[in-house]
Amino acid sequence: MIQELIFATGNKNKAIEIESALPQNFIVKTMQEAGIELDIPEPYETLEENSKHKAHTIYQLTKINCFAEDTGLEVASINNEPGVKSARYAGESKNDQKNIEKLLLRLTGIENRTARFKTVMTLIVNSTVYQFEGICTGKIIDSPTGTKGFGYDPVFIPDGSTHTFAEMNLEEKNKFSHRKKALTKMLAFLNNLKAD
């Protein structure tokens, strides 16, 4: 099994989440730890393309096996917004609080709060590209609750829980997490890659 990868992200919260879900024998270096100072744009209209673009950028730069991810929150009743624009929903500043405020404003008077987080993880090993998907379904609540997590965590309750992601520690969140599901698929694939 390939036991060391660069994680093509500048998001410290995502790096912490990924690290918390890794087996002990697996090493993931962040871009910063790999000496890469780069803000990779997300110019595409799908999570798949943005995720692939980020991984490809780092692989081209380093020629080291790597992975990236892009995650979107999709709310059914408002045409799956914010979707691929989740991080920049309220503008280029990527302000979590403003994004949540805009989302709750959009949902004013709407009863259907069904939503899902979708993560697309792109792995590049020896120039070959693979993708893995993780989905967590749930609902959006009326006002933020909890102080942990990041992004839309304070207003999202996953199916099977009565707590928002922002009320959970990492171990609890990983029981539901879209990112953890995609990571689990990727790690299983890497295990099989060694077996082959």
pLDDT digits (tens, 9 = 90+) for 48-107: 999 999 999 999 999 999 999 999 999 999 999 999 999 999 999 999 999 999 999 999
Q: Which residue has the tokens 């829980």?
A: 161
- The pTM score is 0.94
Contacts 24+ apart (CB under 8 A), 56-64: 56/122, 56/124, 56/129, 57/8, 58/6, 58/8, 58/31, 59/124, 59/127, 61/36, 62/6, 62/34, 62/36, 64/5, 64/6, 64/34
Q: Report pLDDT for 193.
A: 82
Amino acid at 52: K
Q: Is 159 a catalytic residue?
A: no
Selecting among 39, 70, 142, 159, the annotated active-site residue is 70
pLDDT for the residue 111: 96
Long-range contacts of 9-17 (CB under 8 A, 24+ apart): 9/54, 9/68, 9/69, 10/38, 10/39, 10/40, 13/149, 13/150, 13/151, 14/69, 14/71, 14/179, 16/170, 17/170, 17/173, 17/174, 17/177, 17/179, 17/180
Q: Is the pLDDT of residue 33 over 80?
A: yes
Chain mean pLDDT for the chain:
94
CB within 8 Å of 103: residues ≥ 6 apart: 73, 75, 81, 82, 89, 140, 152, 155
pLDDT for residue 196 is more than 80: no
The proportion of the chain whose per-residue pLDDT surpasses 90, expressed as a percent, equals 88
Can you tell me which residue has the tokens 């890659």? Answer: 193
Tens digits of residue pLDDT in 170-185:
999 999 999 999 999 9
Mean of pLDDT values over 105-112: 97
